[in-house]
Structure 1
Amino acid sequence: MANQPMLKFVKIPKDMPEKRDADTRKQDFDEIYQEYAAEKAAEQASRCSQCGVPYCQSHCPLHNNIPDWLKLTAEGRLEEAYELSQATNTFPEICGRICPQDRLCEGNCVIEKSGHGTVTIGSVEKYITDTAWEKGWVKPITPAQERPESVGIIGAGPGGLAAADVLRRQGVQVTIYDRYDRAGGLLTYGIPGFKLEKDVVMRRNDQLEQGGVTFELNCDVGTDISFDKIREKHDAVLIATGVYKSRDLGGPGAGAGGIVRAIDYLTASNRKSFGDAVPEFDSGELNAEGKRVVVIGGGDTAMDCVRTATRQGATSVKCLYRRDRANMPGSQREVQNAEEEGVEFVWLTAPQGFAGDTDVTGVMVQKMRLGAPDATGRQAPELIEGADYVEDADLVIKALGFEPEDLPTLWGTPELEVTRWGTIKADFRTHETALPGVYAAGDIVRGASLVVWAIRDGREAAEAMLEKFNAKATSMAAE
């Protein structure tokens, strides 16, 4: 037992990577957490209790083999830890940065439940893969042999990129179509640099391109190329467009200037960080500098908006959410980071309209209280009569979530079956839709969800395609 490298949670406390202080990190868009040193990563990994039933693994959508790569890290066998991590996760360094670990692996850690503080799984995962890139352990994609089959992927977000990686490693010819000028989807334009620095995403895009994936960028399916044309060109098609249509908010004054969508605001900020020309930012329309900012919503997108606004130099930043802290959908870790950076959360508030004639001057707010629990046990918000007031604002950012675009109409494909919510109907095992050879994965099937679920769906869809290709090749060989 003297050389036992694990089960040290009793002696060693939980220790997150050092976080840059709030005043310093508000000055830039760099990531806020420092990297672990090798000794610290090994020390924190050694706290794992190596459970017989690893709840961290079962609560990870990708079922990453977490206990094993923690043990390898504790033993200093980092290259093997990386290989194990990469076996189930296409982008471990991205998940290590942006997964809400407090709701997934870390939130279900046995030693967390026993009061010892969770193993810092996400930080170790990030450290393993960052080290792998640094040491050259991340190998180029080189298929053992090329295959004749071709797959078209619509959408270069995490689901589409994960599928492309799996398919390309097996020699399948892959083309990705995306409406933006850079691949990555929300990883590139939706998530701010302080959570995910952009060179991390660009590095993976480059790896896929160098591995033989063809990118057709600035390509809007339905306008620049028809969906039917893509189906004609490829043996299979994966729809991985994500959901980009913002939920709207009506009420008096909803059309006033200075009320903007979260996706537009975040995209402008990220484009600026790339050095692009962004007229809407330069004009001040999508720039929070010197403004009283109110963000409406309580999810991770709202957290991204409030923390971006503080960095742009807003005079004040408030977040309105209709429930309380305990019932908000965003990561608690992100809420804490935002509060440290000076964001004020105004809980149990619902916007009813907007003050101001041409430009917004405030949000008309009604105070709420939590009523009786619904069928799921969640308490529904109720209005408190006579408790209305106006929250002053020069810039209002709507972060109320996303809905799917009407793809059957946009693409002229009424036979593409959708649910009553507009998401595409697909088999939950194979991800195949009602159209033969057409698959769908990620948010366009699930509704707005996590990056890690999109990666899982993309990988599963790719595996299902490969199974079908192999079955067809076998039957042709037998004839």
Structure 2
Amino acid sequence: MAEKMLQFVRLAQQTPDKREAAARRTDFNEIYSRFEPARAAEQASRCSQCGVPFCQVHCPLNNNIPDWLKLTAEGRMEEAYEVASATNTFPEICGRVCPQDRLCEGNCVIEKGFDSVTIGSVEKHIVETAFENGWVKPPTPRVELAQSVAIIGAGPAGLAAAERLRVRGYQVHVYDRYDRVGGLMIYGIPNFKLEKDVVLRRWKQYEAGGIQFHLNMEIGRDITLAHLREKHDAVFIATGVYKARDIAIPGSELPGVVAALDYLTASNRDNLGDRVPAFEDGSLNARGKHVVVIGGGDTAMDCVRTAVRQGAASVACLYRRDRANMPGSMREVNNAEEEGVRFVWLSAPESFEGAGKVAGVRATRMHLGLPDATGRQQVEPIAGSSFIQKADLAIKALGFDPEDLPRAFGEEALAVSRWGTLKVDHKTMMTAMEGVFAGGDIVRGASLVVWGIRDGRDAAEQMHLYIQHKAAMALAAE
């Protein structure tokens, strides 16, 4: 047990042991081990307990990080879990997939000169300890309410809202078009970052708490939004964004040019034991191929590291800016480089080359020019600098856009922004349709799991206020 905090002056930063690159290239297991209890307490004791905790300020959930670090340092693990779970529906998932280097750890006040507290790894340790000791309970209410809610989408936003509303006593029904609960946490994020059992155990726990899941159920195809509005007292749309952004260059139609989510979904389904014809026939499998991934975000990092594990002959990542301007997590970039991925910085694709099948990506060298109106340096092509990067499989990881939800749901009354995301009143999170709320990526655009959790929790509170107000008005009218 740590006697006091502020131990950063004598204890160096340590992360949990990371598997050697040669070993982790061969499987999809998580690459970081768990902290031993004594090591977790030591690292937690490095926290300075500052008066203005920037780690908490820069966390989308405003997690009480200094408090649960102190409790961990003191060995009070059950209390640490209670504090961590009070503001975060899935702390075990955030501890694994959040870009802590851009959020809590990146804003730790002891970062300069001493290195930040390893917040994410301690968070993971807290919750895994809680699961092992049976402290994590299904979301059961004290009083059952007659009102019911419909949640469309079983990703982080939808599940966070479901948990909060169930605890309040509502009859919660979650509708999802996939066959498993979790959304991109299951089919988008690879196992080496988030093992699927971590998500699936929450699904079973939520079922035990009385949340009802309706899977393989697509709104607009199997059931209408109008029907859900009639059946339930409020509806929350949390479908996420799945439409891949494309790049309008010659050769995009060539076999072997694929979208990132199609590729990652095939890999994740294979790891889950599903039969995936496109994986088995090699069209969505990198084994033995020269792979080129286009993009610089976290999805691109997921693709390059998946290709390595599938046994690709080579893996290159083309990004039109330099390392300093990479939008993805630097930790993921470093892990990818350790595993043998080659980054081709300041390179923009011009076309996909090949006769009947992709054989390479023609790209041009770029240089950083003057800053634009946002302050970010513009990228400009260097004349005569074209080159071809060999590719048997080219993966476009350029981000995601919303689908045309008003048309898909058969409800033209759903208003959308100029970006195609759903418009909501940002105070109430209600859409243009009475009693229909929305949050997560379908409102803010492709974002982080932690922002989805935040939106789901906030939406649950607004839905509760709406339902109770409606009930009070009905009672007053009698």
Q: Secondary structure at the match of 1:458?
A: helix
1:256-335 equivalent positions in 2, closer than 5 A? 256-335=254-333
* In 1, Cα distance between equivalents of 2:426 and 2:368: 35
Q: Distance in 1 between matches of 2:197 and 2:418?
A: 38
Q: Aligned partners of 2:263 and 2:4: how far apart in 1?
A: 47
Describe the superposition over 1:332-369 as per-residue Cα deviations: whole angstroms up to 9, x where unpaired: 00000000000000000010111101100000101100
Who is 2:453 aligned against?
455
Query: Separation in 2 of the partners of 1:477 and 1:60?
Result: 40
Mapped to 2, the partners of 1:424 and 1:334 lie a distance apart of 31
Deviation at 1:469, TM superposition (A): 2.2
Question: CA–CA distance in 1 between the matches of 2:313 and 2:121?
Answer: 32
CA distance in 1, matches of 2:305, 2:428: 38
**TM-score (normalised: structure 2):** 0.98
Note the C-alpha offset of 1:429.
Answer: 2.6
Task: Give the distance between the partners of 2:251 and 2:263, measured in 1 at CA.
Answer: 20
CA–CA distance in structure 2, aligned partners of residues 12 and 215 of structure 1: 47
Secondary structure at the counterpart of residue 387 of structure 1 = coil
Q: CA deviation at 1:4?
A: 4.3
Residue 156 of structure 1 corresponds to which residue in structure 2?
Answer: 154
User: What amino acid is the match of 1:70?
Assistant: L
How far, CA to CA, are the matches of 1:195 and 1:30 in structure 2? 8
Q: Deviation per CA, 1:47-91: give whole Å up to 9, x if none.
A: 000010000001000000000000000000000000000000000
Q: Distance in 2 between matches of 1:5 and 1:281?
A: 53
Instruction: Tell me which residue corresponds to 1:172.
Output: 170
CA-to-partner distance for each residue in 1:360-399, whole Å, 9 max, x for gaps? 0000101100110112211111010100011110000000
Q: Is the 8 A contact 2:2 2:42 kept in 1?
A: no
Which residue matches 1:196?
A: 194
Retained in 1: the 8 A contact 2:234–2:467?
A: no
Q: How many residues in Structure 1 have an aligned counterpart in Structure 2?
A: 477
Matched, 1:31 2:15: no
One-letter amino acid of the counterpart of residue 81, structure 1 = A
* Preserved contact between residue 292 and residue 315 of structure 1 (Cα < 8 Å): yes
RMSD: 1.1
Deviations 1:424-476 (A, max 9, x none): 01122321111110000000000000110000000000001111223334445
Provide TM-score, normalisation by structure 1. Answer: 0.98
Going from structure 1 to structure 2, the CA distance change for 1:82 and 1:152 (only over 3 Å counts) comes to same
Change in 2 beyond 3 A, CA 1:18/1:3? closer
Aligned-residue sequence identity (percent) comes to 66
Deviation, 1:178, is 0.7
Moved more, 334-343 or 206-215: 206-215
* Distance across 1 between alignment mates of 2:475 and 2:228: 27
Partners of 1:375 and 1:10 in 2: how far apart?
42
Name which of structure 1's ranges 393-402 and 246-255 shifts more when overlaid on structure 2.
246-255
Equivalent pair of 1:253/1:357 in contact (CA under 8 Å): no
**Secondary structure, counterpart of 1:144 in structure 2:** coil
1:29-68 equivalences under 5 Å are: 29-68=28-67
The one-letter code matched in structure 1 to 2:350 is Q
* Equivalent-residue separation in structure 1 for 2:464 and 2:55 (angstroms): 29
Where does 1:81-92 land on structure 2 (aligned, <5 Å)?
81-92=80-91
Aligned-partner Cα distance in 1 for 2:129–2:402 = 37
SS in 2 for 1:385: coil
- 2-structure distance, mates of 1:235, 1:140: 23
Alpha-carbon offset, residue 477 of structure 1: 5.0
- The list of structure 1 runs, each at least 4 consecutive aligned residues, that deviate by more than 3 angstroms after superposition, is 472-479
**Which residue identity does 2:158 align to in structure 1?**
G
| 1:94 equivalenced with 2:93 (yes/no) | yes
User: Which residue of 228, 231, 247 corresponds with 2:229?
Assistant: 231
* Paired AA for residue 340 in structure 2: G
Paired AA for residue 18 in structure 1: D
Rounded to whole Å, the distance in 1 between the matches of 2:412 and 2:75 is 55
Counterparts of 1:227 and 1:124 in 2: how far apart (Å)?
A: 42
Structure 1: unaligned runs, 5 residues or longer: none
